Each structure stands twice: as C-alpha cells, then as structure tokens.
Structure 1
Amino acid sequence: MKFFVDSTKIAIHLERSKDFTRAFNAYQKALSLTQNKTTIIKIRSKQAWCLHQVGNPLETEKIYQDLLDEFPDNPWGSILYAKYLIKTRRWKAAKALLSLASKHFPDNLELYLTHASLLKDMERSNEAIEILKKALAQVSLTKGRGIMRKDIWAELGSLFFQRGDYNSSISALKKSLLMDNESSFLHYDILGICYLLVGDHENSIHFIDKYIHYNGEIDTEILKIKARAHARAGVHHLATASLLQAYALEDRLNLDAEDMIDLAPLKQLGFLDTLENLEIEE
C-alpha cells in the first residue's frame, strides 16, 4: 500500500509540475500496484489528461472509450470522461453522456451533481433543477465529494432563487435547514431576501438576523434588505438604523428603484435627505 501511495504522490507532483510524460509513466507504475477498479479508472483518467496535455487527444479519447468498455458496471468511467469533455468545452457531448450514465447508475450522486453543474454553467437552470429533483427522488444515493441530501436541497433552493421562483426557493432551503446544523447553514441571506420578495417581512428580518449572527460579517446589500423589511413592517426607526449602518460601511449609499418601493416612506419623512453621499438609481 505504501508503495502505491508513494508512486501516486510522485505522479501527481510531476503532473502539477507539467512534466506530463514522466507523470504518465509514474501513473503507469501506480497502476501495477492496485487492483481496485475505481482507482484504476481514476489513474487511467489521469494518464488520459497527460496525453491530452502533450497534444495527443486521439489517445486520450481511446483511453476513455476503453474505460467505458472495460468497466461497464462502474460509473466513474462516465463521470471522468464527462468531466474531460466539459474541460475541453464539449458540453453537448458531456450532457448526452451524463444523461445516459444516470439511467444506468440512478443512485450515483456524483453523476447528478456533475450533470446539474454542467446545465447551470450552460444557463439551463430549469433542466438543472429537474436533475436535482431526480437525485432527491432516489431512495438511496452514494455519497459524492462529502455532499449530502441537505446540500442538494440547498443547491436546488439557490437555482429556484436565480429563476425568480421565491416560494419554491424557500421550501427547498428550509428542507436543507432542517437537515443541517443551524450554525453551519449557509443560506440565511437568500431566505431573508426570498421572504421579503414574497411579502413576509417578519420572516425576512428573522433570517437576515440569523445570517448576521452566524456569518459574523455584514455588507451593504444585506442591510438594505433588512431596512426594506423593517420599512414594510412600518418600523421606520429600525429601517433608518439599518440604512445608517449600511451608509457607515462605505461612507456612501446606492439605492435602486426596487429599494425605493419599500423605502419611499423614509424619503417622505426626510431621512434620505440627511445622507450626503446618496445615489438613487431610477
């Protein structure tokens, strides 16, 4: 085992040093020291990348095709080939491969995550959402990169938010929160924004406060959201306090037309006129 680990470390070092020919040979030595199928696939994928880097893409393709043929019952051949296709900007081919592989390996989380990430990068968020829904519909899922179901729900919530489907985003993120530790949940800010945009200022304030408490840092945008929520609730002194805090961070403040829909009462009260470096975008 020690010889295998040492050989692999040497190969990785050579690859990172861009000495791809020697890295290829070092990976070949490591191959002779393992019988694990997944490990073999991963090492041969590394060799394929070395060949690509020295200008031999045909041999690279041959290695990946051989992996698919030799290990039809192992998803890693498809996963790593798809990642190679993505890296070389052949997105349609990667998408087709991942779609096919997901049918053969419906419980493999890594396939779903790679597929959803690709679709997100292709600005096909609706399709990415459907892929993640399919993953969540599986009774059992293999672990992928330390990612669990809570992380899939969180990514789904983020995609719904990007699409402007705020109620669905709230639903997905709250499911993620139920599966997570309160202190390690990373999306309180999105929940706060979503609740504001669906007209629930109380929950908006609640989750913005959670974000500030656990994140330890505040920024102008999150304070503007909090100010808008307080303004909607009619608690103008708290809205002005949040805006003053935002103003103090950069000694200036920018508000857009959407902000002003909620903050109009503060303008009527004359508060905004007291801020010297204030810019209101029409």
Structure 2
Amino acid sequence: MTTAAVAPFRFFALRVAGTRRLGPSLVRVTFSGDDLALFHSDGRDQSLSLFLPHPGQDAPVVPVELGDGWWQAWRELPDDVRAVMRSYTLRALRRRPDEIDIDFVLHGVGPENGTEAGPASRWAAEAAPGDRVLLLGPAVADNRAIRFRPPADTDLVVVWGDETAVPAVCAILEALPAGTPARVWLEVRHTGDIQDLVTPADAEITWLVRDEAAAGAECSPMALDALRMTRLPSAERPYVWIAGESGAVKALRRHFVGERGVDRRRVTFVGYWRLGLTEEQLRATE
C-alpha cells in the first residue's frame, strides 16, 4: 500500500463573490472557487498569502510552478507585472458552498488623512464580484501558519491586537473552549470599527479607540498605558498573544515578560506590519 503525502500549502485560484463594509477602516471580501474544496484550516490566526493583479490586469501574474525556485522566479518578474503579494488572516471558512472571508484594513482609504493607500487597500476598496486573485494557503488543517497555540495547562488567555489583527482575534475568540478565562484588548482607528464579538469563552473585551487628533496615525501608546493600569485575574500559567504593528508588539512583549514576569515561552508575538514601511520593504529588512 502506498500513502500519498499532502503538501501543507498550495495555490488556490479564487474569485470575489461579494464584499461588505464593516466600518470606516474595514471591508470584508468573500472569495469562492472550486479549489476551495481542497482548502483546510483549523482557523484561529491562520496566515495566508494573497496575490493581487495590478490595475489593468485581469488576473495576478505569478510563476506557474510552486517549487524550490518559485520565490526567486516571482521576485525576478518586472515590478509592473509581478502580482502584488500581501499577508492576511483567514476570517472564516464555510462549506456548501465553499467560501472564505478575508477582512482588509483600508489604510489611506476613507476618513483618515495622512496615509497613502497601498495597492491592497486600493484593490479591496474597489473589489467587485468576479475579480480574480490567487491565494497561497493551507491544504492541511493544522499547519505552521497558525501561531495561536496556548499550552494545555493555560489558565488565562491574554490578547492584544490593532485593527490589522482584529480578524485573527475574532477567529481566536470563536475557537476558544467554553468558559476559558480571557482578557482582550483591541485598538482601532474609529468607533465605527468596533464589532460585536461572539465567543464561548469567559472573555472581557476592551476596545481602545484613538482620539480624532491621532486618527491619521498608525499606532499609539494607548494599549501599553491601558495594560499598565489593569490588574489581570490571578493566574499561574497565562498565555499571551500579541499581533499588530511591530513596534507596539515589541513594547507589549517587554511589558508582559519584563514587567509582569510572564514566561517568554508562553508569549506569542507577531508583527503584521511596521510603521513607515511597505510589506516589500519589511520583507527586505527581514
């Protein structure tokens, strides 16, 4: 008997099925496609790579074969031809019909000022049914692109995220076991970006909204100030998950490890973006 090995990640050819505005800074895009029958994920903070076409292209351009030399071949395509790649979090997966949702932050699109819209924000703001994209995502449900992994003995879950992490936090909260003690902080640009979150966990959720004077800024010290003033429930084995702007994430990690004494092995921190850098520039620095 032979056993076929399943590659953990593969390309999925998708089309926009619809869009829905969630607030001044957020839009949800629903994708469909026959390939999604092979898409599998345990959810939580499942990371995805989305490839978008340039204006005037009807589909994203990428090398055909996904192999060892794929990344270099993609980088060598002309800048105005090579598909725009951006990292996102899976918001939801549905069957019958097969669909996924991805929530986009509209940097530079909408009421905020002082931020130039990037290619993904412009694409999401104008996305229409039938638009074609390519997704690099999981064919195996439990995969390394899921980072939220609290140890089995966790007695308190602590979460912070900015608007780019809201989709991941929503999915994490939905997946927590009933009654799990959790404290959650979410920092967003506008009051209109606040969402009704559903979770079976025993979660206390605090939304932090930047004041109008800071509406054009990408991050603020609000979260760190709020956390320092907060007494967390007593816990011997907390697990901390932090995601968003890299500078804020690093500062909050130092707070939990250095000021609160949380074991660094029980802190997951992910920089989704960095102030002042595009994703291409961020990848180059890494």
Tell whether the structures are fold-level matches, with TM greater than 0.5.
no
Whose RCO is larger (CA < 8 A, sep 6+)? 2
Compare the two structures and name the one with the higher strand fraction: 2
What's the TM-score once normalised by structure 2's chain length?
0.25
What's the TM-score once normalised by structure 1's chain length?
0.26
